[in-house]
């Protein structure tokens, strides 16, 4: 119910905005000797409370260790993804990199700390109101959850998503979507002084936030001209580690053990899975 109230307010906010069509992005032009990297990113509306950060870096395929100069990778990229008031939750991560082997080295979910013109912010429970074209919500202290794919020695973990960049080609690494898995839990009800009587409980819906994934070249359709595939041939690079799992960006508030990933079989909502469960 809270979510419906929130998005109702968001629709009112959007209805009051007057927007002009944005000019399409020009086709990408790769520098000599460089390769392109493209990945679709999406945030489901139920997952907008966080900002999401993704990092990629080059590694040595023989040692699986990051290639670094001092404390920094010699080649890589980091992107911030948020739910945009006008554009929604879809974003194309597009950059150019030197040829080589690369991996996603880190995913990060960070609670949005305050209002902004460029994103739908979320701080605390989603009950907000519009002032001056912005969406304001109850302020809460921001928290961060980081999912690393390298160890302390900068060596890739076994489940690190990897891909290749080739000069003069456009690597497409698929479509990553932040999804939620809600459940209802019971928590102690504290009084104003922070005391619990040992019996009073409240019911609350909590969420697990996960990085889901698919590889489908049909997702390229809205950005065909921008990717300039007529000049830079497509290099398909599906991230195979996602085939049987979703990665946990933030676990339930009451999770006794924070899980790194969830098998897809636990969240298969297909008709086939439902029929199997009923049999």
Residues 189-208 have pLDDT tens digits of 887 877 887 888 788 888 88
| In the predicted structure, residue 129 carries a pLDDT above the cut 80 | no
Task: Provide φ and ψ at 185, rounded to 5°.
Answer: -130, 160
| In the predicted structure, residue 174 carries a pLDDT above the cut 90 | yes
Query: Measuring CA to CA, which residue among 178, 173, 202 is closest to residue 102?
Result: 173
| In the predicted structure, residue 258 carries a pLDDT above the cut 60 | yes
Mean pLDDT of 20-26: 71
Q: How does residue 127 score in pLDDT terms, banded at 50, 70 and 90?
A: very low
Give first-to-last CA distance, the chain, whole Å. Answer: 33
Looking at the chain, the whole-number percentage of residues with pLDDT higher than 90 is 48
Mean pLDDT of 208-235: 95
Residue with tokens 């969830």: 262
What pLDDT is recorded for position 136?
Answer: 31
Mean pLDDT of 89-99: 93
Q: Among 5-9, 50-54, 77-81, 185-189, which stretch is predicted with the lowest mean pLDDT?
A: 5-9
Query: Measuring CA to CA, which residue among 38, 25, 42 is closest to residue 170?
Result: 38
Read off the pTM. 0.76
Mean pLDDT of 243-258: 87
Q: String of b and e for 210-230 (b: at least 16 CB within 10 Å)?
A: bbbbebeeebbeebeebbbbe
| In the predicted structure, residue 99 carries a pLDDT above the cut 70 | yes
Mean pLDDT of 130-141: 32
Q: How does residue 267 score in pLDDT terms, banded at 50, 70 and 90?
A: low
- How high does pLDDT run on average in the chain? 78
Mean pLDDT of 244-254: 89
| In the predicted structure, residue 96 carries a pLDDT above the cut 50 | yes
Task: Provide φ and ψ at 46, rounded to 5°.
Answer: -70, -10
| In the predicted structure, residue 179 carries a pLDDT above the cut 60 | yes
């Amino acid at each position: 119910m809270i979510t419906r109230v929130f998005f109702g307010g968001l629709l009112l906010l959007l209805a009051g905005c007057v927007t002009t069509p944005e000019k399409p992005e020009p086709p990408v032009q790769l520098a000599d000797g460089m390769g392109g990297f493209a990945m679709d990113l999406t945030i489901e509306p139920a997952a907008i409370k966080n900002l999401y950060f993704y990092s990629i870096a080059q590694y040595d395929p023989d040692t699986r260790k990051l290639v670094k100069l001092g404390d920094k990778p010699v080649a890589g990229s980091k992107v911030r993804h948020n739910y945009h008031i006008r554009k929604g939750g879809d974003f194309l991560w597009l950059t150019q990199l030197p040829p080589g082997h690369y991996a996603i080295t880190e995913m990060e979910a960070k609670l949005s700390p305050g209002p902004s013109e460029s994103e739908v912010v979320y701080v605390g429970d989603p009950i907000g109101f519009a002032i001056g074209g912005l969406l304001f919500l109850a302020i809460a202290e921001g928290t961060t959850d980081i999912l690393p794919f390298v160890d302390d020695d900068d060596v890739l973990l076994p489940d690190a998503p990897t891909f290749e960049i080739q000069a003069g080609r456009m690597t497409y690494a698929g479509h990553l979507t932040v999804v939620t898995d809600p459940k209802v839990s019971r928590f102690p009800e504290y009084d104003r002084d922070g005391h619990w009587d040992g019996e009073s409980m409240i019911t609350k819906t909590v969420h697990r936030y996960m990085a889901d994934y698919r590889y489908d070249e049909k997702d390229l359709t809205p950005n065909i001209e921008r990717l300039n595939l007529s000049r830079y041939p497509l290099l398909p690079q599906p991230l195979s580690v996602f085939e049987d799992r979703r990665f946990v960006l933030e676990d339930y508030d009451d999770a006794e053990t924070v899980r790194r990933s969830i098998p897809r079989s636990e969240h298969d909502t297909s008709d086939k899975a439902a029929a199997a469960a009923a049999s």
